[in-house]
Amino acid sequence: MPELKKSFRIGREILADLRGCDPRVIDDEQLLRRLVQEAIKKTKHNLLELNSRKFTPVGVTVLGILAESHISLHTYPEIGYVGVDIFTCGKNRPEPILEYLQEKFGAKEVNWQYLRRGSMRQWKQIYFVDGYKREIEVMRVLHTQQTPYQLLEVMRAKHLGVCLFSNGTLQMATADAHIYDQKMIQHMGNAKNALIVGGGDCSILKELVKNTKLQEIYMFEQDQQVINVAKKYLGAGPALRDKRLKMFYGDALETIPFLKDKKIDYAVIDLVSLPDSKLKPLYSSLFKELSSIKVPRWATQAGHVLDKKELTAISSAAKNYYKKTEVETQWYFSGGEWNFLYGEGIKK
């Protein structure tokens, strides 16, 4: 067989994670602009336009449009992190730009990947709203199944591990699901009995069973098939066998009233994304049922930070039944930055 020729590529791209950077440097918008300009000039690239934005309380984004393509920086001074993206299609390589910036930022650790752009790859879009798009590289499709309620897909993705999709929307990735889960249960306090509404990927359940203070865990999931998928592909078997778990299949609105004689201390609502027209009615009904069985505190995800409609709808529904709500945000690699809504204090 003849030797394969080097594949054609449109350009070269470096995606880099710089950690341990000097927070004073990477939070200084004007300094970052100057350093980017210097790096581009020293490496003989051609800068056409430079834009930047300083965020409150911390963080800067710098975007440079090059004749050869682009360079972008996204800084997180609170953790000493800078995300760098350099794409070039000219004769000059992108590596010298990265080397110059990592030195000036004082980076202690640099992890980067080099992409030869222009070849066909297997990608899947995981999020799109108001121009914000996330895509992942799929290494292998493990399972596809249409249930009476949803299309389930399980895929192994580069950097994200095993991922579960419902109707094309990413529900969880094993690489960083713990960040999302811990955000949902961080206000549990000394709860003895917990309730999960949804959460069919069983990721939150796996976190709850680690809590030795919990005496009983109730879980409502409409689609039994997603539980089977979680057991087979997502490592949910041990959690599902926990003796404290009481599993109910069906409509949560119909079954929550059966817990009226139980003392539920904390509820986690982990539902798939819904159309705007269904959001408020469903959550209003959920909060009504939770308040009727005297659940004092709860948590739910409330959509991507760029999607204000979901947060507004859920918050509005909650205020009819609970005295206090609080919003926090959390960034994680597979999903971006999401809103988390917490409520407490049942209204009389």
Which positions are annotated as active-site residues? 69, 74, 89
Q: What length does the chain have?
A: 348
Q: ∠181-74-129 over CA atoms, to 5°?
A: 60
Cα–Cα distance measured from residue 203 to residue 197, given in angstroms and rounded to the nearest whole number: 13
Q: Is 62 helix (H, G, I), strand (E, B) or coil?
A: strand
Tokens 């919990």, residue?
214
User: What's the CA dihedral at 123, 223, 304, 299 to 10 degrees?
Assistant: -150
Return the number of other C-beta atoms located less than 10 Å from residue 306's C-beta. Answer: 14
Q: What is the DSSP letter of 257?
A: G
Contacts 24+ apart (CB under 8 A), 171-175: 171/200, 171/201, 171/272, 172/201, 172/203, 172/234, 172/334, 173/333, 173/334, 174/234, 174/235, 175/333, 175/334
Residue 121 burial (10 A CB sphere; 0-12, 13-18, 19+): exposed
Q: Are 116 and 28 in contact (CB under 8 A)?
A: no
Cα–Cα distance measured from residue 141 to residue 164, given in angstroms and rounded to the nearest whole number: 10
Ordered strands of the 336-346 beta sheet: 245-249, 216-221, 193-198, 266-270, 297-304, 336-346, 322-332
